Amino acid sequence: MLNVAQLARIELNKLEQKKFADQLGAVLSNFELLNKINTTNIEVTSQVAGLSNIFRKDEIKNPVGEKIRDDLLSNCPQVEDGSIKVPEVFDFGGKK
């Protein structure tokens, strides 16, 4: 449970670990139902659109410019000089 939460970038407190483990355990045991079915030689279905390889020209269609850039950046929690600002990627133990 903790490993999955770690992979999903979600922190769980002790209460949540217990709650989610119970709930997901119940759902996963329901999934066991499928193991009774022999699926040897059955193809997988991953999409139902019945389409394949839809291409378009590699060209810019949307207007580019400061307005669209400003609109997009206006949603960013932290911006500096027209760029998105994030904390350091590697933690060198330095104090923030």
Backbone angles phi, psi at 83, to 5 degrees: -125, 155
- Secondary structure of residue 79 in the 3-state scheme: strand
79 forms bridges with which residues in the sheet? 84
Q: How far apart are the C-alpha atoms of 77 and 19, rounded to whole Å?
A: 32
Binder of another protein out of 15, 60, 64, 86 (CB under 8 A): 86
Position 47 contacts another protein (CB under 8 A): yes
Q: How far apart are the C-alpha atoms of 88 and 16, rounded to whole Å?
A: 29
Binding mask 5-34 for another protein (x = CB under 8 A): x-xxxxx--------x--xx-xxx-xx-xx
Binder of another protein out of 56, 59, 60, 66 (CB under 8 A): 56
Lookup: tokens for 14: 């002790």
Sites of contact with another protein (CB under 8 A):
1, 4-5, 7-11, 20, 23-24, 26-28, 30-31, 33-35, 37, 39, 42-51, 54, 56, 62, 68, 71-72, 74-78, 84, 86-91, 96
